[in-house]
Amino acid sequence: MSHLIAPSILSGDFSNLKADVEMLNNSAADSIHVDIMDGVFVPNISFGFPILETIRKYTSKPLDVHLMIIEPERYIRRFQEAGADNLIVHFETCKHLHRTVQEIKECGMRASVAVNPHTSVSNLMDIIGGIDMVLVMSVNPGFGGQKFIEHTYKKLMQLRSLIGKENLSTMIGVDGGVDLNNARKLFEEGADILVAGSAIFKADNPVDTIQKLKNEGNFKD
């Protein structure tokens, strides 16, 4: 399976959003990660539909829309209309996760589930065969630039074992504290896609950094 990079636009320059999106268009990025925060589920507020629609306008790359909000099921259709290709909901916010996943797919999007650092991946045993990706949070969600939580590696191994036993095609993503220091090990331990924000947008050459992160997935070649 290919190893993918999804830059998190939350770390971009919103006074020059178009330029940042065009930079990503011309990079090796496989998709653009868009964080939606409500100030309730996480202690921060980010952008909403207008910004997502603007990003959609300027790129043809897939948009991975990460909903760090309560009651995400209320907005599934609206996010599809705004341009989401892959809708990521949190295990911790969905009372009826199976139903929410079904609704996402019925709207024509890929359906993914994120788990916070304290959430055991064993909670996904009954849903993992019906989702496209598990997004493992390697920081506590809400803010960029946090320190990577080392326990993430163990969760990746557990997930890879579960997916392998069931012979599934479910992908594994990692979000938080990803940089050139840990990218290779994350890929080695089972990650398929890495979400990186500060490591890319604070780099002297973001395009080069994206390519270097992607190259870390070639450890088996």
The one catalytic residue among 30, 64, 175, 192: 175
- For residue 217 the two structure tokens come to 């997935």
Query: Is residue 175 flagged as an active site residue?
Result: yes
Residues 210, 194 contacting (CB under 8 angstroms): no
- The two three-digit tokens of residue 93, written as one number: 């916010």
Residue of 35, 64, 132, 192 with catalytic role: 35
Cβ contacts of residue 170 below 8 Å, gap of 6+? 128, 129, 131, 132, 133, 134, 163
Q: Two tokens at 128?
A: 């993992």
Asked if residue 76 lies in contact with residue 104, where contact means CB atoms within 8 angstroms, the answer is: yes
* CA dist., res. 208 & res. 137, Å (int): 25
Yes or no: say if 194 and 6 are a contact pair by the CB < 8 Å rule: yes
Q: Dump the DSSP string for 57-76.
A: HH--S-EEEEEESS-GGGGH
Catalytic residue IDs: 35, 175
